[in-house]
Amino acid sequence: MEKISGIWVFAEQEEGSLHDVGLELLSKGRKLAIALQAPLAAVLIGHKVRHLVPTLYSYGADYVFLADHEDLEHYLTLPYAKILTRLVQFHEPRVVLFGATSIGRDLAPRVASSTRSGLTADCTDLQIADVTQRGRLYKNLLLQIRPAFGGNIIATIISPESRTQMATVREGVMRVEKPDSGHQGKTIEVDVNLSEEEFVVQLIERFKEKPKVNLKAANIIVAGGFGVGKKENFRLIEELANVLGGAVGASRAAVDAGFISRDHQIGQTGTTVRPKLYIACGISGAIQHRAGMSESKKIIAINKDPHAPIFDIAHYGIVGDLVEVIPKFIEVYREKSR
């Protein structure tokens, strides 16, 4: 059997639909594959998921490794890790990318350990470059760029001696390119040969809510922080978002204080967003929060504290109490848009 090295993407799916992050990674992987002059492959594991293969082709996959079996219907660490480990050991890909989701962050380290590959968590950028490290030149290494130290530093990590370089990548940071329905690939059927050992963890129940909030797709986000003060005041944030046709976001401090549910959280431990306009209300601008929104095209900060760090990255700063500023803002906006 021919070895297919190059760039691989783990195409996460659940109940027969692909996770966005897989498409984001294929879009980025396409560029890396061109830089490496190597093929791009997707690994698709599940049950009754064959219908997803054409989508993976259209997002740039030259090959799809398809492991389709009833035992693989739901994600379980050991069977998925076993299949990937075998594939990686045989084909020796240069790069394997995973989404930094609860599945990707569970699976990737297990596979990296069994194949003794270098693995970097939660990357926000990836590049291919020649690198001189400790006096040696390495051609075409994967530069794995990620925030570290609570977001206070940006580190570039390399795995120069690793046969396969692995990384998990934050959701929402890589742009999805337009699919090309004319792009075709080849499917490689993967032999699913698992033993009882792989099923020592059993799923009893799974509960998943469809996300009610779609922060990633919003053009305008109005977000509240701890400075909102109390839960009742959060209605102002919701009202402003409503008037502007935007979505409601929150800092971790606001979520922890119980002002709003966790699915609204933006930042290093929440969603990464890049809307056209981000209005930060009563958000001090801790680095963990900025990590999730600093790519916004325009940022308005409303805060009582003139020294709040959020003003350092805001394009427009308003020093004042949001309880007074927001109603005024709404009033003026309504007049103007009449």
Partner 1 sequence: MAYRSVVCVKQVPDTSNISGEVMKPDGTVNRAKLPAIFNPDDLVALELALQVRDEYGGKVYVITMGPPPAAEVLRQALYMGADEVVLISDRRFAGADTLATSYALSMAIRKIGNVDLVFCGRQAIDGDTAQVGPQLAEKLGVPQVTYVEKIEKIEGGWLHAKRRIDGGYERVRATLPVLLTVFGDAAIPRPFNAKLMMEKKRARSRFELERMSGNNPLSFFYNDPGTLEKKGLLIFTWGVEDINAEEERCGLKGSPTQVYKVENVVLTSPERKRYEPTKADLEKLIDELMTDHIFG
Candidate residues 31, 47, 127, 131; the one interacting with partner 1 per rule CB under 8 A: 131
The count of residues interacting with partner 1 (CB under 8 A) is: 84
Whole-angstrom distance, CA of residue 285 vs CA of residue 310: 4
Segment contacting partner 1 (CB under 8 A): 40-48, 51-59, 104-112, 228-236? 104-112
Provide the terminal-to-terminal Cα distance of the chain, rounded to the nearest Å: 67
Residue with tokens 């502007």: 244
Print the SS3 string covering 110-147: HHHHHCCCEEEEEECEEEEEEEEECCEEEEEEEEEEEE
Alpha-carbon distance values, 291 to 34, 70, 317 (Å): 29, 40, 19
Stretch touching partner 1 by CB under 8 A, among 52-60, 87-95, 186-194, 330-338: 330-338
Pairwise CA distance, residues 39 & 229, whole Å: 53
323 part of the interface to partner 1, by CB under 8 A: no
109 near partner 1, judged by CB under 8 A: yes
Distance between CA 125 and CA 103 in Å, rounded?
20
Tell me if 160 contacts partner 1 by CB under 8 A. Answer: yes
325 sits near partner 1 (criterion: CB under 8 A): yes
Residue 298 makes contact with partner 1 by CB under 8 A: yes
* Residue span 301-320 as binding mask against partner 1, x where in contact by CB under 8 A, dash where not: --------x-xxxxxxxxxx
**For the stretch 152-162, what's the b/e string if a residue is b when 16 or more beta carbons lie within 10 angstroms of its beta carbon?**
eeeeebbbeeb
User: Binding to partner 1 (CB under 8 A): which residues in 244-263?
Assistant: 244, 263
Helix (H, G, I), strand (E, B) or coil at 328: helix
**151 sits near partner 1 (criterion: CB under 8 A):** yes
Which of 53, 121, 236, 260 binds partner 1 (CB under 8 A)? It is 121
Contact call for residues 40 and 9 (beta carbons, < 8 A): yes
User: Does the protein bind partner 1 through residue 266 (CB under 8 A)?
Assistant: no
Q: Would you mind telling me the total number of residues written for the chain in this entry?
A: 338
195 binds partner 1 (CB under 8 A): no
**From 15, 17, 154, 189, residue interacting with partner 1 (rule: CB under 8 A):** 154
Residue 42 DSSP SS3 = strand
The residue among 149 and 178 lying less far from partner 1, judged by its C-beta, is: 149
Site for partner 1 contains 176 (CB under 8 A): no
Q: Which of 135, 136, 139, 149 binds partner 1 (CB under 8 A)?
A: 149
The least distance separating partner 1 from the CB of residue 172, rounded to whole angstroms, comes to 12
Does 96 bind partner 1 (CB under 8 A)? Our answer is no
- Measured CA angle at 256 (ends 250, 260), to 5 deg: 45
Instruction: Please tell me whether residue 206 binds partner 1 under the rule CB under 8 A.
Output: yes
